[in-house]
Amino acid sequence: MNSKVPFSERDRTDKPASLYAATKKAGEEIAHTYNHIHELTITGLRFFKVYGPWGRPDMAYLFFTKDILKGKSIPIFKGPNHGTVARDFTYIDDIVKGCLGSLDPAEKNTGSGGKKKGPT
């Protein structure tokens, strides 16, 4: 199990720590195999904490926003070794732009700012 914080997209993922993580890894392996058999370029997209109009009412950002507007404090959790923990939220319009950008193999990897390794 990889417990390194912060993590990188280059970190090993061969020992998922949860069933959810295992399904993501299985999906990657299926895509890799399909690519190998059929010689098709495949791009996987993962969305993390998407917010915007018609968003889920049980998302943390809604609770945080409501509490902040009421003058209440929001909980701050400590990470490993009592370090600070940050969480990203992505606006739906940015998700749409990322999906459209993923169709162009020359577009940037939105996760790291680096170039994707797709066909030229």
The two three-digit tokens of residue 13, written as one number? 């993922």
Query: Amino acid letter at 110?
Result: T
- The number of beta carbons lying within 10 Å of the beta carbon of residue 7 is 10
pTM: 0.61
Contact yes or no for 42/35 (Cβ under 8 A): yes
Q: What is the pLDDT of residue 44?
A: 84
What ranges do the domains of the chain cover?
A: 1-42, 48-115
More confident residue, 14 or 71: 71
Distance CA 88, CA 85 (A): 10
Return the structure tokens found at 63.
Answer: 């609770």
Give 2 or 4, the one with higher predicted confidence: 4
pLDDT digits (tens, 9 = 90+) for 75-117: 777 777 777 777 788 899 999 998 998 887 665 555 555 555 5
- Within 8 A by CB and 6+ apart from 24, the residues are 16, 46
Active site residue 91: no
Determine which one of 20, 34, 51, 61 is catalytic.
Answer: 20
* Residue 77 structure tokens: 């959790």
Choice among 4-13, 23-32, 108-117 with the minimum mean pLDDT: 108-117
85 and 78 in contact (C-beta within 8 Å)?
A: yes
